[in-house]
Chains A and B, each alone.
Chain A
Amino acid sequence: MSITVTEKAARHIQKTLDKRGKGFGLRLAVKTSGCSGMAYALEFADESLPEDLVFECAGVRLLVDPRSLPYLDGTELDFVREGLNEGFKFNNPNAKAECGCGESFAV
């Protein structure tokens, strides 16, 4: 069981958390909808819930609920720049097919 972040992603998460002024960590989740069946969600977390699994990586805390975990196991969270856009990207070994826009996927 592992979820990791790249160094770039960690730097960026740290920066945004600092700017926000509070926050326990970052929540990674998977929601069942979107055009390929499942979609990623990325949120700040101000507290951890009892059932959450917490991963520490490169100095940031990642929270994952148990229902999302099977889909996210092995995922690496990256921060990338594409043209004028920058943002987070999930490198998920479980995803078999991604929908056109990459926001959702099927396993």
Chain B
Amino acid sequence: MALLQIAEPGLAAAPHQHRLAVGIDLGTTNSLVATVASGLAKALPDADGHALLPSVVRYTEGALIVGREARAGQADDPHNTIASVKRLMGRSLADADETMRSHYQLSDGPGMVGIETRAGRKTPVEVSADILRALRERAEASLGGELTGAVITVPAYFDDAQRQATKDAARIAGLNVLRLLNEPTAAAIAYGLDNAAEGTYAVYDLGGGTFDISILKLTRGVFEVLATNGDPALGGDDFDQRLAVWLKAQAGLPAELPIEDERRILALARSTKESLSAVEQTLASVTLGDGQVIRVAVTRAQFIELTAELVSRSLRPVRKALRDAGLGPEDIKGVVMVGGSTRMPHVQSAVAALFGTAPLNNLDPDQVVALGAAMQADVLAGNRKSGSEADWLLLDVCPLSLGLETMGGLVEKIVPRNSTIPTARAQDFTTYKDGQTAMSVHVVQGEREIVSECRSLARFTLRGIPPMVAGAARIRVTFQIDADGLLSVTAREQTSGVEAHVEVKPSYGLGDGEVARMLLDAYGTGEIDAATRMLREAQVEARRLIDATEAALAADGAALLSPPERDIVQKAIFALAELLETDEGDTRKIRAATDALNTASGDFAARRMDASIKRALAGRSLETI
């Protein structure tokens, strides 16, 4: 509770400033924004009273359409109408979703896939930003002020690249991200706090494009995520696909239709599916592009038969998550249903059968995630009293193991998957060679033992280790994951205190430069920032090279180089260093001098990489070049 101070007569502060904070569920299919008002979380509808904003963006000449209207235009303008863009977040063309490939003209961009539209190439980050901006504008219009911040939810399965992509999209949309929150955890907040129930719960989230299962333990308002699992490519869309294929067959249509008609059939499948959650049978009908009218009667039993396999596919990750948590279905006190697809009766009954208990569904499954996010945003924005029940702590888990590359291309896991976060874990390593002054650290994410099968997150080098005999140095590598699930790694040599650090960069390759460009695009401001950034990058790179070369000269210069050779390298270092000191700020000159130093020291580097060091390269140790 905010404490009051005594004011001068007539000057009692206008009733407090409620900081405007929202929760946003950025879904594959639908997105929505919610806020807490008078202690109650509620979704904010648009002017027409719709809470759900279809996650669809249509790019037309000079205009941008988001939501319902964009979805309605999907069939007419399929290439420029982007739906389910969440499936592409943080992805490269190589690992882009098959369905998305067939619907859009995807292209490979710097690190992340791009979608070719009439308005030019759009990255999934930009498309998501357009959705988020629509929600921000809706919230600001309905709350009557600028937002302090937002909590944005992501599937528990999102990896670092996808999380970072989501954050970038929010930044471009002009949102201050208070934190990212796993969708199931948000749902648990919405349920757990409202019902103040203790025990171990499962959150079953079947949305439009993703399936997540989380096992959560609630104790006196404290959430602990015991395990998560899921299927990033299972959702209501798949039910639509199955039914669409069947509808085409029933109507005697060919398997492949023009894309506009495919969209019509898909839309028909979706609405038919949704009605079958309420009624036993329905008549599906639509007019195709050539005027042909399709009419197919569908019963719920038929639909269940077509999609029963999808439902049982969702139960496998559920069992795995239970195993990871060391629990059986009987240990679960209740199952929280999240996502529009849990409205399907056969989903409800399959979940009930597995757990032997009727699922909890008294909150709207479309809204529960956004409501929980809004409650969290309210706390983070400082709108809650600091009383006990408001002070809840959130423990999330890290969805994939994080580790380091070690000798022979193997992975040493430092943070096992499903560890609760925020967390910090450390492990000690040592040098591999006598007199080794540097160690390369390669951070990877994944469950496999072999580096090449895990995802590479970052590489950095710890330099300046004092020369010691092999095995004498103590290098402590610490992994730290913040509440958003973002990672930073530090390596520190214990005796000398030398330290190197990396914030894990978005591994989809959308560097800060690219984000800056998008921000500029979004705000339409000048190019000065981009130029400054390029200069800074050139300076950093130059300093890194000087440090590296000086360290190398100190270590092996006398042994490997003749005095004249040494002189050449020294001169190149000197020229570059001078350029940096004169503070001239000429990016091109710095780049040229950096290249010159690279050339001058090239032979030296090659000599140092003798055969034995080359072998060491496969492992975790690497000499400074």
User: Which residues on A are within 8 Å of B, measured CB to CB?
Assistant: 13, 16, 26-27, 29, 31, 33-37, 39-46, 80, 82-83, 85-90, 97-104, 106
With A43-B10, A99-B38 already in contact, 6 other A-B pairs whose C-beta atoms are closer than 8 Å: A33-B14, A36-B38, A43-B8, A88-B6, A89-B4, A106-B38
Q: Which residue of A lies closest to B390 (CB)?
A: A100
Q: Are A41 and B12 in contact (CB under 8 A)?
A: yes
A9 to B39, CA, bound (A): 28
**Closest CB in chain A relative to B292 CB, distance in Å:** 56
Q: Are A44 and B7 in contact (CB under 8 A)?
A: yes
Q: Are B2 and A97 in contact (CB under 8 A)?
A: no
A40 to B2, CA, bound (A): 11
Interface centre among A16, A26, A36, A103 (most CB of B within 10 A): A103
Is there a chain A Cβ closer than 8 Å to B1's Cβ? yes
- By a CB distance below 8 angstroms, the chain B residues around A36 are 38-39
- By a CB distance below 8 angstroms, the chain A residues around B36 are 100
Q: Are B15 and A34 in contact (CB under 8 A)?
A: yes
Q: Are B385 and A102 in contact (CB under 8 A)?
A: yes
Is there a chain A Cβ closer than 8 Å to B571's Cβ? no
Chain B 1-31 against A: per-residue CB contact (8 Å), 1 yes, 0 no?
1111111111111111010000000000000
- By a CB distance below 8 angstroms, the chain A residues around B12 are 29, 31, 41-43
Q: Are B384 and A101 in contact (CB under 8 A)?
A: yes
User: Which residues on B are within 8 Å of A, measured CB to CB?
Assistant: 1-16, 18, 36-39, 378-379, 382-386, 390
A100 to B144, CA, bound (A): 19
Partner of A88, one of B4, B15, B383: B4
**Closest CB in chain A relative to B17 CB, distance in Å:** 9
Which secondary structure dominates where chain B touches chain A? loop
Interface centre among B5, B6, B8, B16 (most CB of A within 10 A): B6
Partner of A102, one of B1, B10, B379: B1
**Closest CB in chain B relative to A5 CB, distance in Å:** 12
A40 to B14, CA, bound (A): 10
A98 to B18, CA, bound (A): 13
- Can you list 22 A-B pairs, Cβ within 8 angstroms, ordered by A? A13-B6, A33-B15, A34-B18, A35-B16, A35-B37, A35-B39, A36-B39, A37-B38, A41-B12, A42-B12, A44-B8, A44-B9, A83-B386, A85-B3, A87-B2, A98-B39, A99-B18, A100-B39, A101-B16, A101-B18, A101-B383, A104-B15
* Contact (A44, B1) CB under 8 Å given A100-B390, A101-B16, A101-B383: no
Q: Which residue of B lies closest to A35 (CB)?
A: B18
Partner of B16, one of A26, A39, A97: A39
Q: Are A103 and B16 in contact (CB under 8 A)?
A: yes
- By a CB distance below 8 angstroms, the chain A residues around B16 are 34-35, 39, 101, 103-104
Please provide the 10 A-B residue pairs with the shortest distance between their CB atoms, ordered closest to farther: A87-B3, A102-B1, A41-B12, A39-B15, A34-B15, A100-B383, A103-B16, A100-B384, A102-B385, A88-B4
**Closest CB in chain A relative to B71 CB, distance in Å:** 34
- By a CB distance below 8 angstroms, the chain B residues around A44 are 6-9
Partner of B6, one of A37, A43, A100, A101: A43
Q: Which residue of B lies closest to A31 (CB)?
A: B15
A99 to B4, CA, bound (A): 15
- By a CB distance below 8 angstroms, the chain B residues around A102 are 1-2, 385
- By a CB distance below 8 angstroms, the chain A residues around B390 are 100
A76 to B446, CA, bound (A): 58
Q: Are A101 and B1 in contact (CB under 8 A)?
A: yes
- By a CB distance below 8 angstroms, the chain A residues around B38 are 35-37, 97, 99, 106
Q: Which residue of B lies closest to A36 (CB)?
A: B38
Q: Are A42 and B1 in contact (CB under 8 A)?
A: no
A26 to B8, CA, bound (A): 10
A87 to B19, CA, bound (A): 21
Interface centre among B15, B36, B384, B386 (most CB of A within 10 A): B15
Q: Are A42 and B39 in contact (CB under 8 A)?
A: no
**Closest CB in chain A relative to B392 CB, distance in Å:** 13
A88 to B390, CA, bound (A): 20
**Closest CB in chain B relative to A103 CB, distance in Å:** 4
Partner of B3, one of A29, A43, A89: A89
- By a CB distance below 8 angstroms, the chain A residues around B1 are 89, 98, 101-103
A37 to B16, CA, bound (A): 12
- By a CB distance below 8 angstroms, the chain B residues around A83 are 386
**Closest CB in chain B relative to A13 CB, distance in Å:** 7
**Closest CB in chain A relative to B289 CB, distance in Å:** 52
A26 to B6, CA, bound (A): 8
A33 to B38, CA, bound (A): 11
Q: Which residue of A lies closest to B383 (CB)?
A: A100
A35 to B381, CA, bound (A): 15
A35 to B145, CA, bound (A): 14
- By a CB distance below 8 angstroms, the chain A residues around B4 are 40, 42, 87-90, 103
Partner of A82, one of B14, B15, B382, B386: B386
**Closest CB in chain B relative to A46 CB, distance in Å:** 6
A10 to B147, CA, bound (A): 39
* Contact (A42, B15) CB under 8 Å given A35-B38, A99-B39, A100-B39: no
A85 to B3, CA, bound (A): 8
Q: Are B5 and A87 in contact (CB under 8 A)?
A: yes
A71 to B464, CA, bound (A): 69
A27 to B6, CA, bound (A): 9
Q: Are A98 and B7 in contact (CB under 8 A)?
A: no
Q: Which residue of A lies closest to B379 (CB)?
A: A100
**Closest CB in chain B relative to A83 CB, distance in Å:** 8
A81 to B44, CA, bound (A): 37
Q: Are B3 and A86 in contact (CB under 8 A)?
A: yes
Q: Which residue of B lies closest to A32 (CB)?
A: B15
- By a CB distance below 8 angstroms, the chain B residues around A45 are 9
Q: Which residue of B lies closest to A80 (CB)?
A: B3
- By a CB distance below 8 angstroms, the chain B residues around A104 are 15-16
- By a CB distance below 8 angstroms, the chain A residues around B385 are 98, 100-102
A87 to B13, CA, bound (A): 14
**Closest CB in chain B relative to A21 CB, distance in Å:** 13
Q: Are B9 and A103 in contact (CB under 8 A)?
A: no
- By a CB distance below 8 angstroms, the chain B residues around A99 are 18, 38-39, 383
A47 to B6, CA, bound (A): 16
Q: Are A16 and B6 in contact (CB under 8 A)?
A: yes
Q: Which residue of A lies closest to B3 (CB)?
A: A87
A82 to B383, CA, bound (A): 16
A37 to B11, CA, bound (A): 20
Q: Are B9 and A43 in contact (CB under 8 A)?
A: yes
**Closest CB in chain A relative to B308 CB, distance in Å:** 45
Q: Are B5 and A88 in contact (CB under 8 A)?
A: yes
A90 to B3, CA, bound (A): 9
- By a CB distance below 8 angstroms, the chain B residues around A29 are 12
A101 to B19, CA, bound (A): 10
